[in-house]
Chains A and B, each alone.
Chain A
Amino acid sequence: MNEEKSMNEENKREIGIPGEIIVKGSDYLPGEGTRRNGEEILATKFGLIDISGRLVKIIPLSGIYMPRPGNVVIGRVLDANFSGWMMDINAPYSSFLPVVECPRFIKGDLTEFLAIGDMVVCKVDNVKPKGVDLTIKLRGLGKLENGMIIFINSNKVPRVIGREGSMIKMIKDETKCDVVVGQNGVIWISGSNVEDELKAKEAIIFVVEKSFVEGLTEKVKEWFDGRKK
């Protein structure tokens, strides 16, 4: 009950349910998670309704990660064969990192560069019906050497990053950790000591749990200030 009360104070957004009418009128444009039926715009997904200007869309709260070209993700090496590495990026499709992506010449076994079980920051290059192609040829991509990995719901990733990276920047500054957030909900944290890493982890979990609250950046700031005392 107590939780319910605090929710109402915190300016909650409407929830869209598949098949329910969100808005009526031809002024609006249906965005992601919605469809048009004559004059009405209906929801096709379960999530928060977001109306910005004329565009109506649904921000999903649950569901698996669907890869899109350009997404930076963190994957785990499943297998190495002669032409590249099979990766697990928490998507329903198999993903492949070709050997041409490797920045140096490898003699013999491919596990010399990336072994099975290694975590790699990579970018989704291409999404084909049968699978996903990855690349590591850009700056900031590549194998992760130390630190810790945490998994969150991939739908909460935009919240963890914040508007123009404000949230993640604050977490990085406050904990002095290096943080990489993959669009697939895998997060890598690396700091000089474990306490800082755990603090960053707790902060991220806090953001994920409070993801529906408006003005979350200030709340996290307060949370950090509270922890300092």
Chain B
Amino acid sequence: MAYTKRFDGRKFDESRKMEAKVGVVKNADGSAMFRFGDTIAIAVVYGPKQMHPQHMQDPKRGLLRCNYDMLSFSVPERKRPGPNRRSQEIGKVTEWALSSVVDLESYPNTVVDVHIMILQANASTRCAGINAASMALASAGISMKELVSAVSIGKIDDKIVVDLIKEEEDYEDGEGATDMPMAFTKSGEITLLQLDGRIRPEELKEAVKIGKKACKEIYELQKKALRKMEEK
């Protein structure tokens, strides 16, 4: 049976209902929430602040530290709290996706801490996290080149789809499922591209093209959320 209709009835190039909000945590220097349907991520930014331990200080540039954490109630089966191999990897990948746009040279010897918390997870958590973190960094008044938007593109059987959900990630019929989280800057540069599964080169090109289009939509939403913050 080929994959002709998505589990939740969306079109193949349609993402879930998105929501973005800036300034959700009052005590932080910057904060934002981003949601893809059931996936909710909150990002909190502290800093630039003095770097500790001191031997990690860099007199040429600041450091960006991302911490990704899935809360224990975010998934159907309780997740053991605390960092694990997966969260460490996603934190590192988020750091790489964002550090190319943050102007760290203006903050020597300092560190910017980004904490991403997943309140509810249904696939694409790292994309929601990157989207939220990018807005939170901007709202913290940190100098950056542009915003970053991320989306997950998948190949389910032979169809390329936007914004996967858990059921699609676990699809096994036909050619199976391929999950590709990707992040783009506003100018269209790729800052994150991961691939979990198998895909043909020409399909990959197509997927990146579709991802870019989906990210444009996300970018508009991020912009709207930032503008709205000031109306408060």
Question: A3 and B146: CB pair below 8 A?
Answer: no
Instruction: Indicate if B202 sits at the interface (CB-CB under 8 A).
Output: no
The residue that A7 contacts in the complex, of B47, B49, B226, B231, with Cβ under 8 A, is B231
Question: A62 and B147: CB pair below 8 A?
Answer: no
Query: Given the known A-B contacts A19-B185, A130-B59, are A61 and B144 also in contact in the complex, defined by CB atoms under 8 Å?
Result: no
- Can you name 20 extra interface pairs (CB under 8 A) apart from A62-B29, A64-B47, A94-B50? A7-B231, A15-B230, A18-B143, A18-B146, A19-B144, A20-B186, A42-B146, A44-B144, A44-B145, A46-B139, A46-B141, A47-B141, A62-B30, A62-B141, A63-B29, A63-B30, A63-B141, A64-B48, A92-B109, A212-B230
Instruction: Indicate if A158 sits at the interface (CB-CB under 8 A).
Output: no
Question: A17 and B109: CB pair below 8 A?
Answer: no
Question: A93 and B227: CB pair below 8 A?
Answer: no
Query: Given the known A-B contacts A17-B226, A92-B48, A129-B109, are A62 and B231 also in contact in the complex, defined by CB atoms under 8 Å?
Result: no
A15 to B231, CA, bound (A): 10
The CB with the most chain B CB atoms within 10 A, among A17, A18, A64, is that of A18
CB neighbours of B107 from chain A (8 A): 92
Query: Given the known A-B contacts A4-B231, A62-B30, are A93 and B109 also in contact in the complex, defined by CB atoms under 8 Å?
Result: yes
A19 to B138, CA, bound (A): 11
Query: Quick one: CB contact mask for B35-65 with A, threshold 8 Å, 1 for yes?
Result: 0000000000001111000000001000000
CB neighbours of B109 from chain A (8 A): 92-93, 129-130
Task: Give how many A-B residue pairs fall within 8 Å (CB-CB).
Answer: 83
Counting contact residues on chain B (CB < 8 A from A), the size range is: 20 to 34
A63 to B226, CA, bound (A): 15
Instruction: Indicate if B27 sits at the interface (CB-CB under 8 A).
Output: no
Give 8 A-B contacts (CB < 8 Å), ordered by A residue. Answer: A17-B138, A45-B138, A62-B29, A62-B139, A64-B49, A93-B50, A94-B50, A129-B109
Instruction: Indicate if B176 sits at the interface (CB-CB under 8 A).
Output: no
Question: A18 and B141: CB pair below 8 A?
Answer: no
Closest A residue, CB atoms, query B48? A92
Instruction: Indicate if B4 sits at the interface (CB-CB under 8 A).
Output: no
Instruction: Indicate if A60 sits at the interface (CB-CB under 8 A).
Output: yes
Instruction: Indicate if A33 sits at the interface (CB-CB under 8 A).
Output: yes
Interface residues of B in 169-218 (CB under 8 A from A): 185-187
Question: B48 and A45: CB pair below 8 A?
Answer: no
Instruction: Indicate if A155 sits at the interface (CB-CB under 8 A).
Output: yes
Instruction: Indicate if B19 sits at the interface (CB-CB under 8 A).
Output: no
Closest A residue, CB atoms, query B106? A66
CB neighbours of B50 from chain A (8 A): 92-94
A61 to B22, CA, bound (A): 13
Query: Quick one: CB contact mask for A141-175 with B, threshold 8 Å, 1 for yes?
Result: 00000000000000100000000000000000000
Closest A residue, CB atoms, query B142? A63
Closest 6 CB pairs of A and B: A63-B141, A19-B146, A62-B141, A46-B138, A19-B186, A92-B110
Interface residues of A in 63-100 (CB under 8 A from B): 63-64, 92-94
Nearest CB on A from B184, distance (A): 12
Query: Quick one: CB contact mask for A1-41 with B, threshold 8 Å, 1 for yes?
Result: 00110010000000101111000000000000101000000
